[in-house]
Amino acid sequence: MRVMVLVKATDDSEKGASDPTWMAQMMAAMGRFNDELRNAGVLLMADGLTPSSQGKRIAFDGASRTVIDGPFAETRELVAGFWLWDVKDMDEAVAWVRRCPNPMPGPSEIEIRPLN
Amino acid sequence: MTAGETHQAIEAVFRIERARLIAGLVRVVRDVDLAEELAQDALVIALSEWPRTGVPANPGAWLMTAAKRRAIDAIRRGKMRERKHEEIARELDDAFDGAAEAVEAAMDDDVGDELLGLIFTACHPILSADARAALTLRVVGGLTTGEIARAFLSSEATIAQRIVRAKKTIAKAELSYETPRGAERAERLPSVLEVIYLIFNEGYAATAGDDPVRPSLCFEAQRLGRMLAGLAPEDAEVFGLLALMEIQASRLPARIGPDGALVPLPEQDRARWDPLLIRRGLEALARAQALGGDGPYALQAALAACHARARSPADTNWPGIAALYDRLRAVAPSPVVDLNRAIAHSMAFGPEAGLRLADEIADADALRNYAPLPAARGDFLFRAGRLAEARRQFEAAARLTHNVRERAFLLARAEACG
């Protein structure tokens, strides 16, 4: 089954500012994690997203389309990065996420959503 | 979390580690069966300890340590067979002498190579292709014998027996369990790729059974192919095979019609092809070509890519396909390639070109009772306006095919010749 694994944004990631030393260490650890995913045949795709200040939303209501510029509030609901994985089941996806290095310096969340 | 959920979570962690665990253990104990048993023992220990302690930070290293301790215990109790025990016990002891981190670091370095070694061993040419497939799915893919039996429409006893025999053959031949290097590696790689593609095709082309497609086997093969590409990133044919499987698998959603029958490629709804897999396939193909890939898998992947890139059958680059078949015929000659080459040339350069090439292979023994040959000739003749001859070819093809739907299709084409 395919799952989308979403790294949720934090105030820091939305500001686009993290301690460079911490970032470098995280990126190195994340690189090793991605290698593991690749060697296990799990990884289909991975990428990071820019802060929501770079994004736009289009609001739909009947015939109307309204473009809303970022940044967006409700930071915890925003996405900072994602993977697409091919796994046997949800348990395997959870086991992989558990061994992911901390994606953010402070508390953060990763969400797993199976694809249809 | 309930105890059951905890149990399930631990087993999921174990599944991720299992192949690498076996790969590391088999280097030391030199026995696939024993390595599997020790890995299983490590799982039992984890199931009793992790609910209390939590999953350790490096579960792979933890499980390896637990399994190696069990191995030492077993040796000390004199339960292991045959010679070499002293040597193995010494090796295991050495592994514990260094600082824990040093052991972990060393294991991390070797882990990819060990896994690759296990794959090469499970796919060793001394084993039959069926035995290689079953053993690879068991020790590398982590499938149970029951799952493998269901996938191959065989009985569990047959598959279990096949795996036992394969392990015995490996033990008897005293294989090193190491990744072959240089010329030997080049020589043995095809037998690894062959097994993975066999597993894929068993799922994709389902030669037997009620379901014409069994996607779970395709999934296992793709996973093995992706794994291999991660572990052997410099082998063009590894990426060629991966590209071929990803592109073929991209068509799975469009391959079965509402009546459950296979839909031929030109009639498939291309909107249902999986764009992610096409993209992955094209990327893998580009990698294979950058590595100089001109082997049979890279060429077949390039052929599949020609179809994947065409937005409609009419957009198909037939001259490109014909040229690829010319090259494929040079590196992997076979009567079936010759026939497909004739079809490609007929599409690129007209039915007469197809007929000329089909005439060249008309007497090939391998194609004597092969329905697709008269079916293709019938199509060339039909398109050339030679309807009476076309009719005879379609009728001959209908007599040769064992597939009911195909027979009906061919008879309808014969009928259309008037």
Taking CA atoms, B227 is separated from A37, B37, B139, B141, in Å, by 9, 23, 14, 10
Verify whether the Cβ–Cβ distance A38 to B226 is below 8 Å. yes
Element (DSSP H or E) covering residue A22: helix A20-39
Verify whether the Cβ–Cβ distance A91 to B16 is below 8 Å. no
* pLDDT-above-90 percentage for chain B: 64
Contact B414, B394 (CB under 8 A): yes
Average pLDDT, chain B: 88
Looking at domain A2-114, which CATH architecture does it have? 2-Layer Sandwich (3.30)
Measured CA to CA, the distance from residue B319 to residue A37 in angstroms comes to: 39
Query: What residues of A are in contact with residue B231 (Cβ under 8 Å)?
Result: 39
Other CB atoms within a 10 A radius of the CB of residue B74 amount to: 19
Measured CA to CA, the distance from residue B304 to residue B147 in angstroms comes to: 30
Token pair of A50 as six digits: 């820019």
Contact B162, B131 (CB under 8 A): yes
Contact B159, B152 (CB under 8 A): yes
Test mutation, B16, B111, B272, chain A, max A CBs within 10 A? B16
Contact B155, B149 (CB under 8 A): yes
Judged against a pLDDT cut of 60, whether residue B196 lies above it is answered with yes
Q: Is B215 on the interface with A (CB under 8 A)?
A: no
* pLDDT, tens digit (0-9, with 9 covering 90-100), for B334-389: 998 999 999 999 999 999 999 999 999 988 888 888 899 999 999 999 999 999 99
Task: Pick the residue from chain A with its C-alpha nearest to B223.
Answer: A41
Q: Please give the interface size between A and B, counted as residue pairs whose CB atoms are below 8 Å apart.
A: 51
Query: What residues of B are in contact with residue A40 (Cβ under 8 Å)?
Result: 16, 223, 227, 230
Q: Can you give the pLDDT at residue B102?
A: 44
Verify whether the Cβ–Cβ distance B226 to A98 is below 8 Å. no
Q: Cβ neighbours of residue A73 under 8 Å, at least 6 residues apart?
A: none
Residues 36-75 of A with CB under 8 A from B: 38-45
Q: Can you give the pLDDT at residue B100?
A: 45
Test mutation, A39, A44, A92, A98, chain B, max B CBs within 10 A? A39
Sequence ranges of the domains in chain B: 1-97
Which residue type sits at B299?
L
* pLDDT, tens digit (0-9, with 9 covering 90-100), for B241-253: 999 999 999 999 8
Q: Is A115 on the interface with B (CB under 8 A)?
A: no
* pLDDT, tens digit (0-9, with 9 covering 90-100), for B168-183: 999 999 888 889 988 9
Verify whether the Cβ–Cβ distance B15 to A88 is below 8 Å. yes
Q: Model ipTM?
A: 0.85
